[in-house]
Structure 1
Amino acid sequence: MEAAINAHDIDAFVNCFANDFVGEQPVHPKRNVTGAEQVRKNWTGIFAQVPDLQAKLVAHTIAGDMGWSEWHWQGKHINSTEFNMRGVVVVGLRENTIAWARLYMEPVQSGSNAIL
């Protein structure tokens, strides 16, 4: 998946997902996704809006049919604003594809050092 993102290879990326994939973003429920074709549509848009997008898989583990990964995604939007997100993705695996995922990706805060 990391190589597919970094190559902006939408076909290789979408092949990571089951056709009936269900993606949830628990802190942003309006961003939930159903189906590999919706993944294709969303990520085609991301690649178009962030043409230099690069992903770094910081850490990952797989146990049985579940996986956990920590990601850092960076680039610049076509309007030159920064795209910089970090977070964790929890996935359910089925037949070498991602059947479901819960994404906890958030923009990296710049500026203040305050926790609150």
Structure 2
Amino acid sequence: MSTSTHPFLDRLRQATDDHDLDALVACFAPGYRNETPAHPGRSFEGTDRVRANWEQIFAFVPDITSRVAGYAVSGADVWSEWELSGTRVDGTRHLMRGVIVFGLDGDRAAWARFYLEPVEDGGTGVADAVRAQVHADGPR
């Protein structure tokens, strides 16, 4: 796949890779809403929270890089698959993968549905994972 994607995604990816906090925050509209459906308590509004989140990310994962694995556009909605990787200041690996659906207002995100999750090394197999999700007593 080409490194070029969608102009918005290109700007967001470049700001992330350059660790340019101002350019990254400029990708989001002032009333930006971030919905995290799998973790509703993590949802938020506003670019101040975007800035605060990314200040922490840049501080604790100083070599973070991003990759857009794929995307699709439907009107003003941009569906995108991301990978964020780097090394945390404590030396451990940082790796997140998932989907972010952006709703654009012009060239900035007005809202997003955020599905990025940390990648789990090893872990249980699919049978145990399904059982843990549907059984009250967890895996067997």
TM-score normalised by L of structure 1: 0.95
Instruction: Flag structure 1 segments of 5+ consecutive residues without an equivalent.
Output: none
- Deviation beyond 3 Å, 4+ runs, structure 1: none
Cα distance change, pair 112–45 in 1 and its aligned pair in 2 (3 A): closer
Query: What amino acid sits opposite 2:105 in the alignment?
Result: R
SS at match of 2:71: strand
Q: Which has the higher contact order (CA 8 A, sep 6+)?
A: 1
When Rg is computed on C-alpha atoms for both structures, the one with the higher figure is 2
Q: Which structure features the higher share of helix residues?
A: 2
Q: For residue 54 of structure 2, give the secondary structure of its aligned residue in structure 1.
A: helix
Q: How many equivalent residue pairs? A: 116
Structure whose residues are more often strand by fraction: 1
What corresponds to 1:114 in structure 2?
A: 125
1:45 pairs with 37, 41, 56, which one?
Answer: 56
- Measured on the aligned residues, the alpha-carbon RMSD in Å equals 1.1
Give structure 2 stretches of 5+ with no counterpart: 1-11, 130-140
**Corresponding residue number in structure 1 for 2:77:** 66
Identity of aligned residues (%): 41
Determine the structure 1 residue equivalent to 2:17: 6
Secondary structure at 2:120's aligned position in 1? coil
Please give the TM-score of this superposition, normalised by the length of structure 2.
0.79
